[in-house]
Amino acid sequence: EEPVYCVCRRVSDGTMVMCDNPNCEKEWFHLGCVGLKQAPSSKRKWYCPECIEKGIDKELEGVDNSSAVGVDALPVGKKI
C-alpha cells in the first residue's frame, strides 16, 4: 500500500510541492489541491494552508509575514 499525502489523502501523482514545515502532517501536496498552477520557486519557503493557518510559517521563520504574500504562494485566482 502506497503512502498518501496532500489534503486529498491520495497517493503521489504528478508534480507535487513539499511543505517546508519539517513537522507537517501531510508533507507533500498536489499543485491543484492547494490552488497552484506551477511549483513555487525553490528559492522561497512554501508552507501548506494548514501550517499557515496554525501560524507555523511565522513560527519557523521568526517573523511576522502576515502582510507579505509571495506571488508564487497565492492560490489560483487570488489577487493581492
Contact status, residue 34 vs residue 49, Cβ threshold 8 Å: yes
Is 24 marked as binding a ligand? yes
What distance in Å separates the CA atoms of residue 80 and residue 78, rounded to the nearest whole number?
Answer: 7
**Of the candidates 37, 22, 21, 24, which has an alpha carbon nearest to the alpha carbon of residue 73?**
37
Is 54 marked as binding a ligand? no
Is 48 marked as binding a ligand? yes
Is 6 marked as binding a ligand? yes
Is 51 marked as binding a ligand? yes
Is 44 marked as binding a ligand? no
Residues making up the binding site:
6, 8, 19, 24, 30, 33, 48, 51
Residues making up the binding site for Zn(2+):
6, 8, 19, 24, 30, 33, 48, 51
